Structures are given as C-alpha cells and as structure tokens.
Amino acid sequence: MGQFTSEEKEAMKAEAGIAACAFVENGMRIGIGTGSTVKYTILELGRRIREEGLEISGIPTSDATESLSIEQGIPMLEWSDCEHLDLVIDGADEFDSELHLIKGGGGALLREKIVAESSGGMIVVADASKRVEVLGEFPLPIEVNPYGWEQTKRRIEAICGGVVNRRGPDYLTDNGNPILDAHFGPTIEDPVKMEADLRAISGVVEVGLFTDTADVVVLAAPGGCELIRKPTARL
C-alpha cells in the first residue's frame, strides 16, 4: 500500500473495521481482536451500543483491547461464564487465497487463537497489503516458554530457512512469554503442516499460523470494502 498516504491507509482501515460490524447482531457474544483496524470495530460497536441500544458482550484478546472496549461501554465476559462465542472479529498480518493467516505482529497470538477456536465464525479485517500468494514475507511470530527459550529457538531454526530473532530482550506478551519472529520469507506453501511441525516443538506455546480458521475477510480498498468469503464459511 505504498502508493497511499498514511491518511488514506487509515481511512481504509476505518472503513473495514466499521464494515465488519454488520455481522454483529443483538444478543451476540463476540471475540474482540487486537490491532489498528479492529480499533475501529470497537469504536463502532461502542457507538451502536450508545446510539442504537445494541446489546452485546465480549471477550478481548489483549489488555489493550480490553481497556478500549470497556472505555466504549462494551460489557466484558469471563471465560468461566462463557463456553462459546458467536463470532470473533480480528486483524491479520497476512492472508492467502485459502484464508490461512499469519497473526501475532501485535503479540496477542495465543489469546487470539483461544478466542478464534472458541467462536462460531471468524471475520478478518485487513487492507490490501495483507493479501499474499504465499505466506511468510511477514516474520512468523512464535510465542515460547521463557524456560530454555534459546534451545527452542535452535529447534525452530532447524525448520526455518531464515533468521529467527527474539522480539527484544525485555519484550513479553500479556501472558509473560517471549516471542520469536521467524523469517521464513514467502515460502510457507503448506501452512497446515508448518503449524503442526512448529507446535510439536517442546517450549513452543503457540504459533502465529491460523489455518482453516477465518471465514470472511473484509478487505479495505480505495473504492470500498470487498468481502472475501471462504466456500465453507460458517457466516
């Protein structure tokens, strides 16, 4: 999206974030994602609660999302009181033609995956720069246990053809874990197998590959939003 100004990019993010709210209906329990586009979803849901009397409740995927959601008047749920969510709205760092995703650039991949796998459908809000032929140009985030993370890194390096970096010496997720960013390059042609291979490594808490999870992508574009729906979409 280099041909667009920062203002144009922000306007497209706002349009996609707001358009995703069309899937939200009264009485729903929703998962609320993390990121610069989902921010506009939260703001729109807050507006609908105040101005239209929308009644929903949600589970956030990060501390930042929880703070903004509470500020906007969205009632928060506890997992102890919620077995299932109707849908989740979240962003993505990349998505391919089968709507497999790379997520976790913001560090919330573990919570995002727990929420996504607990939901009856997943809506992804994204801009055109996130659509790729093959996943991997965006470094793949991998959340790892602090104990022995150096050894976990070595085992990931045996799978990854590129550099694997720890995301800052002091960076920890909301769960207290480091993240390793694996630079595969656009080579992840079988994300389902790659996710399984990485998750099989002891010390890996979660992998930022979300395979067979997304149902619809609300894609921001200058002329409006495009809906990309998987043939097997649940929504």
Q: Give yes or no: residues 79 and 162 share one domain.
A: no
Going by C-alpha positions, the residue among 215, 206, 41, 1 that lies closest to residue 120 is 215
Q: Is the dihedral of CA 76, 77, 78, 79 positive or negative?
A: negative
Q: Does residue 235 belong to any structural domain of this protein?
A: no
Q: Give yes or no: residues 107 and 66 share one domain.
A: yes
The residues carrying an active-site annotation are 112
Question: Residue 14 is part of which domain span?
Answer: 6-130+212-226
Rounded to 10°, the helix 63-71/38-52 angle is 20
> pTM score > 0.85 for this model?
yes
How many domains are there within the chain?
A: 2
* pLDDT tens-digit map of 157-202: 999 989 999 999 999 999 999 999 999 999 999 999 999 999 999 9
Backbone angles phi, psi at 37, to 5 degrees: -85, -40
* pLDDT tens-digit map of 94-146: 999 999 999 999 999 999 999 999 999 999 999 888 999 999 999 999 999 99
Residue 76 sits in a domain whose CATH number is 3.40.50.1360
Q: Give yes or no: residues 179 and 66 share one domain.
A: no
Q: What is the mean pLDDT of the chain?
A: 95
Q: Give yes or no: residues 126 and 170 share one domain.
A: no
pLDDT number for residue 1: 45
